[in-house]
Structure 1
């Protein structure tokens, strides 16, 4: 295509997008005038600019110390030294707002075909180049930038980063090469990240995996080197996994290991030590050990600090009181407190408990969808079953809301990530740490423009938003799912081969196909189940064995005659491609994934209806010795949820019953549900697995009903309240409760007027309990049930309630 035609195409594409910058400056023949000579300031920033532009356009910009007449110019300079710039540019830059640490100015002037990137410091230059690259429109043989850009910005928070742990538990990082880590760290830096958190070779994981290109001790040395070359801070997440932190021999072994690890990395600015998950220690033991560890750390990295989190699975008030008494001491090695997953105390309360001078750092879980710090609110059970806990999960608007609900209490964040599945979330979070007012769509457009291509940027950005909308509300009634796939398919037909082979494009595409396939399978399998139940309803006339045989045939059609095989094959092909390109492990057998760690393609045929439970029930009913017994059990199966005349039945994993759950704070104010109820997933009975790993095993040899996989839940000792109205004021009631869920907790049930329904029960040993409801508690036609846990428990979980009128 002639060059002029390319420019007309770019102009047209810009006009049809919602982000229009007006005219562009042609930079195809630009020269870079760099007045910075100090290599400690410039670092690799100039290299990044040249390389990233050349990758996308084939053009390598010439770098010079002095501009040539009549040639577009890109000035790269420090804001404190603008002497190399023409007077008019200096005056314009000086009129812009002053910069703070790591800030930059970006100015494009169309009447002089000039661009200025002026950094406040070394990092400011790096982030200025990053923003410049994000705004460029690049095609082979062509580079343009919107005219009229005038940006002067400094980061809102000083800590902005992500954890890139090189260990088998991750869904991709353990397959990265050194070059891939270099590029990924660079990509994150272009969006403002200034910190990368690595891990020691020994964690709560295996030491090695078949995917690893280097031993872990060598790879973390490379990660630290890369960060140092870019001028980024290096953090290390270092859990306490020793068996004893008071015995001299155990302490000696731990100290020896830390000498080896700390000596292996060329840069280490901070070490984050969780109090638990893994490695639970009492506060007095923990801080005594940290003092010893600090001595070792400072032998190798004299300025490094140690941060700690009150992250413990079964916290008590006494534990917290002692913990914060140590935190508030003035240790010279102490950096601050980390707020992350499985911390009982809200960050606002932590802020009140510690000295104002002690910083807090967020450790947000951006990688998991349920049983996590920030689960997808009211996620559909079918998605939880099929996608599991760690799928490809772009949640751009959710991430912004989570960030902005809590950001004021901390100095920034380093995210908890287990791989590339949360790739989009990382860039959204970094942009929010830089400026919490940044619109999500601006980040997504920059992401799409830089990583996919400017010609497809708007479509790709909107398609990412559509993927998030797929997860809103019940899947069966969500018309967005089909539209999202159509949008992705249209883009798939349009983009060239390099985009089709782009891992970031493929991650979005596979989710679009998988979501649509899940929805269609659920529709198909739900209809098969309803027809099977209709057949069972005729067992009285057709005979129990015949009815069950016919019902079995119908239920088995789901896997005997699967629908949309082309969608399934598309998912397999994309999974293979992602494994080859970025080491994404989406299956266990073929791609070497760890169970429950991103292997959602393994669930592509997992039954989404109650077929496993029904077929298991049939196998037991068939063994009964008489027809009346079989008919009786079939009737009980069909009426499992029937509360009887004047009774009530509710499943608290279903949207239609959630109105009975007494709400706490709005999700936007309490996204971690530390003060509000949430839905959760898992059966959690003795002998049962999590929902994401459910196959065909179950409680004491029995497959459980699908309903038991999702429930209402509160965390820790926060009460769970469920309210009923319109009760018969003259009647007595009996309550039947299904207690299932991921955790086994000691729970007590009372009514809102303080009457005891049952004392503490350790859940998990059996699913169903029944109790009489005190008659006086419902005498006014209303009753609120209140569940509470012992101190230090993981929380109350209620799945089903039958309120039976006696």
Structure 2
């Protein structure tokens, strides 16, 4: 709708004498309203009227009847219709609507008339009517026996992007979906549709996962059929993510078995619009073989769903240029069955470049990872190690502002998105992302207020909306000094005290609570364990006074001392209670035992007792040093232990996973420009090897430790062959420096290091065998007092990564 037409609708209202008596700040009372639907309305519209009635009843306790005779002038009414029913609307509204040039597909108009009062929700099509009804529901203010609507609520809107949806994979790997009943999926899909989603993505019964789950109420083949049926009620597109799990796609028997499986799956689905086949992760195939297989798959697909299209992602872990050359050759042939290209996790080519390589007529769909925090497509900026270790990969992760920034950075290059989700942990992110796909100018706070109003009630709007924003602030920067964390807990505890029993059973409210308690507990634990380590180090620093063995024993006792804090115990117990509540309400699996989570996935409550200091590494070292016979040698090793990070006078040391060291890291793009870090470095987490770095003398005694310093758990890294650059200034050209570097991390990459002047420090090293390397730095590389270290990977590698770096000046003798 044009701006002028929308203003005309407003003018029609303000010209009415009855409207002049109603202040724009007033609310209209719809508590006695009925829902009106044209008698010839189709089945989907009838379903929507029922859904609208049910959603209002849940919130008000009142029954809103559905009628098919047009309401009288003074009768409170909620009128549903589509533009092809324009003849049944009031004359004034007909006049306005008839002047519209073209209402975009999926668009809607909401027109509030103080007479009655009445609201007219008119969709351009069936989908538009769903979205108009959803927008109206999001703005209404409700309570027991009462339904109020702002008197000035008149809206016209249409989506900016044609693809808007989320993956709802019914499989054991997810942190909650596998526990969903048909009714739970129906409610969840309904809510996504009412917030503007027009698609869901399901997964087949066989993926890179266990085939069974103790939580599943139906076999997977039956549940995905139900998901497809539910989505069709709202005219939502149904996608299926279908990786290539066969053992050999060149063998006729293997191909036959795979095709038979697809016959079974495609036949079971009442609706299927799109098949998404990832190029890898899992199921990597060479492009020629991949596209030959897709051609065979298309024949089977079209037997059951003749209009369905196939989408492919160039998603491979170790891509080569030859692989991409063949992939784009095939894509740009524009086969009849091709729907488009998908950009998601582990696609090496940045989206702007992908858009250039793919023919302009071929659409691109985004597949954003909104669910993971560790090993994520879009990692949390400035994330503290303590929270990374405890919240883990699939924590409850409201990241409202981040999601908007991530969406908008790349939105113009694609036709919308259908997110990668592993469960309900990313619930807030889903609604943010859908709102941004509808209109990328939507403020985050508006979505959060709609979310709070719709799911909790009007009295909770500001508390919940701001409470979710503060939880995002909890994960930014050093946790030790984050004053927001205890304030966030107090805010959520106050809401908890005021919450009704019904609200306390609301899984979304439970998720907000558990994160507030969890963050506060981890912060208190970090403060204690930081102090504990510093106390032990203080004892070791004066070991010479009372003897090394006594100092070692005292330090060990300090490091092994149990934490006894009654308030912290209460926080911990509340987290476990809320984890159980979430299991009961939504099937969320936040622990392996008793809730049956997949280890390393959503079980972040299991991580509450993770050690947040260097105690394990120190204890290993102290055990080894205590075995040294001579006191002088023990003291020497204790000094080396305490001065591990000390590069000596005039030297440099950086823990490159720590934000404070990022002043050294060279990046040509900001996080908001490149949130997926395909051009620029990122902080990553992961040790990648087990062992302890020892000075030469301790290695000589043959001790093999089992722990590692925390500094090895964080790295700066780049993905694939993007160079990793670290720059130092203010070096003394007269001095000779030794580079000492720690190569740890998630990847086992072959890395090469050069410095200024194209000087090679070392050729390709296969990392993962040892953590620490030392190299002499050529003086000609820093004659101007500056030096830039540049790491690159070999073709097909997953990325460069550096945990620590020392520049140690040579001491003149």
Q: How far did residue 700 of structure 1 move?
A: 6.2
Q: CA, structure 1 residues 525+471, in 2 after alignment: closer, same or farther (shift >3 Å)?
A: same
1:29 to 10, 28, 32: 32
* Structure 2 residue 89 is matched with structure 1 residue 56: no
Aligned partner of 2:316 in structure 1 is: 312
Asked whether the equivalents of residues 35 and 49 of structure 2 are also in contact (C-alpha less than 8 Å), the reply is no
2:706 to 702, 705, 727: 702
1:630 to 628, 634, 641: 634
Question: SS state of the match for residue 667, structure 1?
Answer: coil
Asked whether the equivalents of residues 649 and 800 of structure 1 are also in contact (C-alpha less than 8 Å), the reply is yes
What is the alpha-carbon distance in structure 2 between the residues aligned to residue 111 and residue 46 of structure 1?
A: 22
What is the alpha-carbon distance in structure 2 between the residues aligned to residue 495 and residue 98 of structure 1?
A: 46
Q: Greater shift after overlay, 761-770 or 773-782?
A: 773-782
Asked whether the equivalents of residues 36 and 76 of structure 1 are also in contact (C-alpha less than 8 Å), the reply is no
What is the alpha-carbon distance in structure 1 between the residues aligned to residue 359 and residue 661 of structure 2?
A: 44
* Structure 2 residue 144 is matched with structure 1 residue 140: yes
Aligned partner of 1:509 in structure 2 is: 513
What is the alpha-carbon distance in structure 1 between the residues aligned to residue 102 and residue 444 of structure 2?
A: 25
Structure 1 residues 116-153: Cα deviation after superposition (integer angstroms, max 9, x where no partner)? 10011111111111111111111111011111112111
Q: How far did residue 85 of structure 1 move?
A: 2.2
Aligned partner of 1:519 in structure 2 is: 523
1:39 to 14, 39, 42: 42
Structure 1 residues 630-659: Cα deviation after superposition (integer angstroms, max 9, x where no partner)? 222221111111112221111111122110
* Structure 2 residue 796 is matched with structure 1 residue 783: no
- 1:426-437 matches, within 5 Å, as 426-437=430-441
What is the alpha-carbon distance in structure 2 between the residues aligned to residue 95 and residue 426 of structure 1?
A: 36
- 1:355-754 matches, within 5 Å, as 355-559=359-563, 564-685=568-689, 701-754=705-758
Q: CA, structure 1 residues 686+277, in 2 after alignment: closer, same or farther (shift >3 Å)?
A: farther
Structure 1 residues 601-650: Cα deviation after superposition (integer angstroms, max 9, x where no partner)? 00111111111111122222223333333222221111111112221111
What is the alpha-carbon distance in structure 1 between the residues aligned to residue 101 and residue 717 of structure 2?
A: 48
Question: SS state of the match for residue 347, structure 2?
Answer: coil
Q: CA, structure 1 residues 720+269, in 2 after alignment: closer, same or farther (shift >3 Å)?
A: same
What is the alpha-carbon distance in structure 1 between the residues aligned to residue 92 and residue 792 of structure 2?
A: 69
Asked whether the equivalents of residues 73 and 115 of structure 2 are also in contact (C-alpha less than 8 Å), the reply is no
2:353 to 349, 352, 356: 349
2:774 to 770, 777, 792: 770
Q: How far did residue 562 of structure 1 move?
A: 7.4
Aligned partner of 1:9 in structure 2 is: none
Asked whether the equivalents of residues 366 and 426 of structure 1 are also in contact (C-alpha less than 8 Å), the reply is yes
Aligned partner of 1:224 in structure 2 is: 228
What is the alpha-carbon distance in structure 2 between the residues aligned to residue 454 and residue 778 of structure 1?
A: 63
Q: How far did residue 513 of structure 1 move?
A: 0.8
Q: How far did residue 112 of structure 1 move?
A: 4.5
Asked whether the equivalents of residues 651 and 800 of structure 1 are also in contact (C-alpha less than 8 Å), the reply is yes
What is the alpha-carbon distance in structure 2 between the residues aligned to residue 386 and residue 119 of structure 1?
A: 46
Structure 1 residues 681-737: Cα deviation after superposition (integer angstroms, max 9, x where no partner)? 00112689xxxxxxxxxx965200011000111110000010011111101111000
Asked whether the equivalents of residues 310 and 340 of structure 2 are also in contact (C-alpha less than 8 Å), the reply is yes
What is the alpha-carbon distance in structure 1 between the residues aligned to residue 756 and residue 566 of structure 2?
A: 49
What is the alpha-carbon distance in structure 2 between the residues aligned to residue 370 and residue 108 of structure 1?
A: 46
Q: CA, structure 1 residues 115+307, in 2 after alignment: closer, same or farther (shift >3 Å)?
A: same
Question: SS state of the match for residue 56, structure 1?
Answer: helix
Asked whether the equivalents of residues 74 and 115 of structure 2 are also in contact (C-alpha less than 8 Å), the reply is no
Asked whether the equivalents of residues 110 and 148 of structure 1 are also in contact (C-alpha less than 8 Å), the reply is no
What is the alpha-carbon distance in structure 2 between the residues aligned to residue 322 and residue 563 of structure 1?
A: 61
What is the alpha-carbon distance in structure 2 between the residues aligned to residue 202 and residue 627 of structure 1?
A: 62
Q: CA, structure 1 residues 668+35, in 2 after alignment: closer, same or farther (shift >3 Å)?
A: same
What is the alpha-carbon distance in structure 2 between the residues aligned to residue 293 and residue 687 of structure 1?
A: 47
What is the alpha-carbon distance in structure 2 between the residues aligned to residue 94 and residue 681 of structure 1?
A: 59
Q: Which runs of 5+ in 1 are unaligned?
A: 1-19, 689-698
Asked whether the equivalents of residues 176 and 424 of structure 2 are also in contact (C-alpha less than 8 Å), the reply is yes
Number of corresponding residues: 777
What is the alpha-carbon distance in structure 2 between the residues aligned to residue 748 and residue 378 of structure 1?
A: 27
What is the alpha-carbon distance in structure 2 between the residues aligned to residue 117 and residue 304 of structure 1?
A: 31
What is the alpha-carbon distance in structure 2 between the residues aligned to residue 213 and residue 687 of structure 1?
A: 44
What is the alpha-carbon distance in structure 2 between the residues aligned to residue 42 and residue 550 of structure 1?
A: 74
Q: Greater shift after overlay, 281-290 or 103-112?
A: 103-112
Structure 1 residues 61-96: Cα deviation after superposition (integer angstroms, max 9, x where no partner)? 122222135321211111232222221233354567
Runs of 4+ in 1 over 6 A off after TM superposition: none
* Structure 2 residue 281 is matched with structure 1 residue 277: yes
Structure 1 residues 378-413: Cα deviation after superposition (integer angstroms, max 9, x where no partner)? 211111011101100000110011001111111111
Aligned partner of 1:70 in structure 2 is: 74
Question: SS state of the match for residue 785, structure 2?
Answer: coil
Q: How far did residue 664 of structure 1 move?
A: 2.3
What is the alpha-carbon distance in structure 2 between the residues aligned to residue 589 and residue 761 of structure 1?
A: 41
What is the alpha-carbon distance in structure 1 between the residues aligned to residue 484 and residue 98 of structure 2?
A: 48
Aligned partner of 1:696 in structure 2 is: none
Asked whether the equivalents of residues 748 and 787 of structure 1 are also in contact (C-alpha less than 8 Å), the reply is yes
Structure 1 residues 569-614: Cα deviation after superposition (integer angstroms, max 9, x where no partner)? 1101000000111011111111111111111100111111111111
Question: SS state of the match for residue 564, structure 1?
Answer: helix
Question: SS state of the match for residue 476, structure 1?
Answer: coil
Question: SS state of the match for residue 133, structure 1?
Answer: helix
| TM norm structure 1 | 0.94
Question: SS state of the match for residue 273, structure 1?
Answer: strand
Aligned partner of 1:14 in structure 2 is: none
What is the alpha-carbon distance in structure 2 between the residues aligned to residue 165 and residue 398 of structure 1?
A: 24
Asked whether the equivalents of residues 533 and 638 of structure 1 are also in contact (C-alpha less than 8 Å), the reply is yes
Q: How far did residue 110 of structure 1 move?
A: 2.5
What is the alpha-carbon distance in structure 2 between the residues aligned to residue 703 and residue 662 of structure 1?
A: 31
What is the alpha-carbon distance in structure 2 between the residues aligned to residue 205 and residue 593 of structure 1?
A: 13
* Structure 2 residue 121 is matched with structure 1 residue 117: yes
Aligned partner of 1:84 in structure 2 is: 88
What is the alpha-carbon distance in structure 2 between the residues aligned to residue 302 and residue 544 of structure 1?
A: 79
Q: How far did residue 33 of structure 1 move?
A: 1.8
1:151 to 155, 172, 196: 155
Question: SS state of the match for residue 44, structure 1?
Answer: helix
Q: Which runs of 5+ in 2 are unaligned?
A: 1-22, 693-702
Asked whether the equivalents of residues 587 and 602 of structure 1 are also in contact (C-alpha less than 8 Å), the reply is yes
Asked whether the equivalents of residues 404 and 444 of structure 2 are also in contact (C-alpha less than 8 Å), the reply is yes
Q: CA, structure 1 residues 43+229, in 2 after alignment: closer, same or farther (shift >3 Å)?
A: farther
| TM norm structure 2 | 0.94
Q: Greater shift after overlay, 370-379 or 668-677?
A: 370-379
Aligned partner of 1:6 in structure 2 is: none
Aligned partner of 2:9 in structure 1 is: none
Asked whether the equivalents of residues 96 and 152 of structure 1 are also in contact (C-alpha less than 8 Å), the reply is no
Q: Greater shift after overlay, 795-804 or 64-73?
A: 64-73
What is the alpha-carbon distance in structure 1 between the residues aligned to residue 541 and residue 64 of structure 2?
A: 76
